[in-house]
Structure 1
Amino acid sequence: MTGLKPETREKLKTVSVATLSTALFKRGLRNQTIQDVRPLNPNLGNMVGEAFTLRYIPAREDLNPITVFQDRSHPQRKAVEDCPPGAVFVIDSRKDPRAASAGSILVSRLMVRGVAGVVTDGGFRDSPEIAKLKIPAYHNRPSAPTNLTYHQAIDINVPIGCGDVPVFPGDVIVGDGEAVIVIPAAIADEIADEAVEMTAFEDFVTEEVLKGRSILGLYPATDPQTKVDFEAWRKAKNR
């Protein structure tokens, strides 16, 4: 995966999912925030990378005994070894956290291999240990049973649904301290540029509000003086 420009990645590390969702909404994209996932450690900074996916289906017991893990080509194990450095591993667990999508050993392997983060709309086991790792991880809730209990890994790097959002391989995934959003790859550069501009303005607005200024005419900037003040602020802050 080489489609994400380094400069775009760096810009996306500086903006919030909330700001990105507004930029996408302006383009008619309303369903890009993955539902019901939260970070195990919200203090790691933004997760940014291209999507590499794993899809689960409901487990069929005769095809999904614990012995399947002896197969080196088992889709879950293979996906962990194939997910490219800098990518985000996105798992479709059918919004079902009854059984774990992965545990601390597999997430540790992803971290060591340089993967940018991992997201599941199911759950992780060993979540206290995962929370201590230096890799962003997002899930629905902790889940102790092995994934084989209810899930059968079936496809690697195919279009999936994760938390009610379509995710295509190569889409740009951004996670912050509260949420995860999916940016179509074709518009990632322009979304990043717009989000950086929006963030600068919102930082200015926040400073003004904390000084006691009314939001009327300020946010949105319907008062011409707001634009004058913002440009002066940008110059002073080198933004």
Structure 2
Amino acid sequence: MTRSTTTSAPPPEGTPPPLSDDLREKLTRAPVAGLSAQLRARGLNDVHIDGLTPLHPEAKLIGTARTLRFVPHREDLFTAHGGGHNAQKRTFDTVRPGEVIVIEARGEKGAATLGDILAIRAHTNGAAGIVTDGGVRDVAAVRAAGIPVHCAGPHPAVLGRRHVPWDTDLTIACGGATVQPGDIVVGDADGVIVVPPALAEEVADATLAKEDEDAWIAARVAEGHPVDGLFPMNATWRAKFEAGDPR
């Protein structure tokens, strides 16, 4: 699909820098389950955006968070804030390459938070993905747009049935997790996780090292070795692993 040539708005003041190519490559290879384990080892247990389904489970989602918040529907507020170039449309119009739009919809599944037109707009702007704890309409067309999307499920109703698009670029709650602008968001078939930028390099390196270790253990189990003493490795197996001994 041809990228849009429309000039985007300048980034909000204080916007964190985009991911480096090196860190993005590491996170591409690091599974969400592995990142979860490494964050847990560092005391971070509440970094999972729960209750979502990927529309492209085979696609990796990696980017920095661009946040959008909906509040519960109220007729007078929707009249004042729901029409025109509202917060939802402004966010999709100004999302930048490498960003993931993360939407707080309070877990409300009774209305959509986006449809195909906005998914296409995000994709043409170079967005890395969309994460919403609300519904998505036009699901087949959104899937065909080619951008990774994780959502709470399909719903045919427009957002005005349950939501008022309210504000953007602030700390939000999505699927039970706190997400700040610039947080690193990673998703795959196992789910979506929020990685604090200050820990991202360390956690990515540790995850890849553990993946190498787990692959070695899996090969030994496939050879017929019992998991007792091997998973996790005792001192004997650890010495074999570190020596590169395949037996």
> TM-score normalized by structure 2?
0.88
- The CA distance in 2 between the partners of 1:207 and 1:230, in whole Å, is 15
User: Closer, same or farther in 2 for the Cα pair 1:67/1:151, shift >3 Å?
Assistant: closer
* Paired positions, count: 231
RMSD: 1.8
Residue aligning to 2:52: 37
Counterpart of 2:119 (choices 107, 115, 118) is 107
Q: Report the AA paired with residue 43 of structure 1.
A: E
SS in 2 for 1:64: helix
User: How big is the shift at 1:81?
Assistant: 1.2
Superposition deviation, residue 105 in structure 1: 1.1
Amino acid at match of 1:106: L
The separation in 2 between residues aligned to 1:143 and 1:57, in whole angstroms, is 18
State the alpha-carbon separation in 1 of the partners of residues 129 and 242 from structure 2.
Answer: 35
- Could you give the per-residue CA deviations for residues 194-220 of structure 1, whole angstroms, max 9, x where no partner exists? 111111111222222222221122211
Distance in 2 (alpha carbons) for counterparts of 1:43 and 1:231: 35
4+ residue runs of structure 1 moved beyond 6 angstroms? Answer: none
Q: Note the 1:18-37 alignment, pairs <5 A.
A: 18-37=33-52
SS of residue matched to 2:29: coil
**The one of 59, 75, 86 aligned to 1:61:** 75
Structure 2 CA distance for aligned equivalents of residues 227 and 128 of structure 1? 51
Question: In 2, distance between residues paired with 1:134 and 1:54?
Answer: 21
Equivalent pairs: percent with the same residue? 34
Q: How far apart in 2 are the matches of 1:19 and 1:231?
A: 24
Query: For the Cα contact (< 8 Å) 1:204–1:230, is it kept in 2?
Result: no
Q: Structure 1 67/50 Cα, relative in aligned 2: closer, same or farther at 3 Å?
A: closer
Quickly say closer, same or farther: Cα 1:204–1:171, change in 2 above 3 A. same
Alpha-carbon distance between aligned partners in 2 of 1:144 and 1:88, rounded to the nearest angstrom: 23
**Native 8 Å contact 2:105 2:113 kept in 1:** yes
CA contact 2:33–2:190 (8 Å) conserved in 1: no
1:221 pairs with 2:203? no
For 1:113 and 1:231, the matched residues in 2 are separated by 48
1:172 to 184, 190, 213: 184
Following the alignment from structure 2 to structure 1, what is the Cα–Cα distance between the partners of residues 168 and 81? 20
TM-score by length of 1: 0.91
Deviations 1:78-133 (A, max 9, x none): 00011111011100000101110100110111111110000001111011222233
Q: Does 1:47 align with 2:66?
A: no
| Equivalence for 1:6 | 21
Q: Which moved more, 1:210-219 or 1:17-26?
A: 210-219
In structure 1, list runs of 5 or more residues that go unmatched. 235-239
- Residues 83 and 115, structure 1, Cα contact 8 Å, conserved in 2: yes
Kindly tell me: are residues 62 and 68 of structure 1, through their superposed partners in 2, closer, same or farther at Cα, counting changes over 3 Å? Answer: same
Instruction: Report if aligned partners of 1:4, 1:50 keep a CA contact under 8 Å in 2.
Output: yes
Partner of 2:129: 117
1:38, distance to aligned residue in structure 2 (A): 1.4
CA shift for structure 1 position 65: 4.2
1:162 equivalenced with 2:177 (yes/no): no
